[in-house]
Amino acid sequence: MWWRGGKRNLGLVSGTEKAMQGVADTLREFWAHRPVRPRAGRKLGGVATGIALRYQIDPVIVRIAFVALALSGGVGLPMYLAGWLLLPEEGDQVSPLEALVNKGHSSVSQGQTVLLGVLLFPALAFTFGSGGFQVFVTIAASVACIYLLQKNRGHLQPAATLAEPPLTPPVPGAPAWDPLGAAPFAWDLPEPAPKPQPPAPRPRKPRVAGVTLGVATLVVAASAIAGAWVPWFTVAHVIGLVIAVLAAGLLVGSFTGGGRSLIWLLVPLSVVGFGMTAVDFDGRPSVGDLKVTPQNLSEVKEKYELGVGSVMIDLRQLPDSGSVKTAVESELGDMTVHVAKNADVTFHCEASSIGDLDCLGRTADGGNVQVEGVDLGGDGEGGLKIDLDVRANVGEVRVLRD
């Protein structure tokens, strides 16, 4: 039986290799026939318009996609700048970046190219510095969308803008139905009336918008029912689910036609959703950095919370005696707690989704990991007692004694 299993395994490996090779071939084909940034009809650098013309989809949908990516961890800005650098302009031989290394001519000057490259670095730093794990998911989803566009619409080309000239000019004075103009007795006869053509049937648009709105309504109803038992279904999370459904409807509509009306619901919902994630209802920011250095025990809060960003709690300025208990929680980002050398620390560190833990020498990394213990410091038992509970959904957790 071992050889049969070996054959099955060999077939599985071969199938995986073929699939990966197909993906690589599609991406290479995308690069070989990449979009061209037009000079007319663009709003900024022509990246969105060029993609829309290349794959014959609505330019508004592509622009909305870039805006949504910009709100999703800032990914849209470096992606747009990269497209500006890597996609050639209409009439140019190569892209601005390729022209910078002398691979051909580009109408974009070297100074503009260098400026775009300089702007790309802070955009990338901001994106990867504040987005965390979400950035990699968004980039992977963007690459998957590019792959699907090339796979399903790569054979399409932009529609021709110039009409074809007639093959032979008509002979002056000859009726159109006498192609040779060789019947003089018929030159004064009236032209025959054209045959009436039946009206062309109106194309039936796919009901993308209606189906998408129906699915979104079901999601809201199911979330309202599930919210009675599952605390996760908050207003912000339900809005996020609806935004995901509308975005999926726009993606399907870009392939099949229709669905453009969903934009008028997606844009305001995206603004509301971004606002709800940026500021909690109690007025505390949930996106940014949190740095706290309490000087006495009464200044230490029972809980420090942040949605997305970095957290630094410095407890080294506290007195050498007494006791304090605090919790630190974050959805996404790096968390660091500093404690004094001689403090007695009881700690529990956890990353509920994926993270990297290093709490007073005890380490763990991966998905759903936690460490806990008691560390009495360099002088043994005695001194300030600290009870720490540090939890992150995704990110890096550190409890350091320095």
Give the DSSP H/E element, type plus range, for residue 242.
Answer: helix 235-256
Question: Residue 103 half-sphere exposure, CB side, CA atoms within 13 Å?
Answer: 11
Single-letter code of the amino acid located at 37: R
pLDDT by 10-residue block (mean), the chain, 402 residues: 47 59 76 86 85 85 80 77 89 87 85 82 70 65 80 69 40 48 51 62 65 85 79 73 77 66 74 57 58 92 85 92 91 88 92 86 86 88 91 88 83
CA angle 41, 42, 44 (to 5 degrees): 160
Residues 295 and 181: their CA atoms lie apart, in Å, by: 104
Residues 288 and 29: their CA atoms lie apart, in Å, by: 40
Exposed, middle or buried: residue 241 (CB in 10 Å: 0-12, 13-18, 19+)? middle
What is the reported pLDDT for 294? Answer: 93
Cβ–Cβ under 8 Å, residues 218 and 225: no
Q: Tokens 């792959």 belong to which residue?
A: 147
Residues 333 and 95: their CA atoms lie apart, in Å, by: 36
DSSP for 167-226, written as a single string: SSPPPTT--TT-TT---GGGTTSPPPPPPPPPPPPPPPPP-HHHHHHHHHHHHHHHHHHH
What is the reported pLDDT for 206? Answer: 58
What is the reported pLDDT for 302? Answer: 92
How many C-beta atoms lie closer than 10 Å to residue 337's C-beta?
A: 26
Residues 315 and 400: their CA atoms lie apart, in Å, by: 10
pTM (global) more than 0.75: no
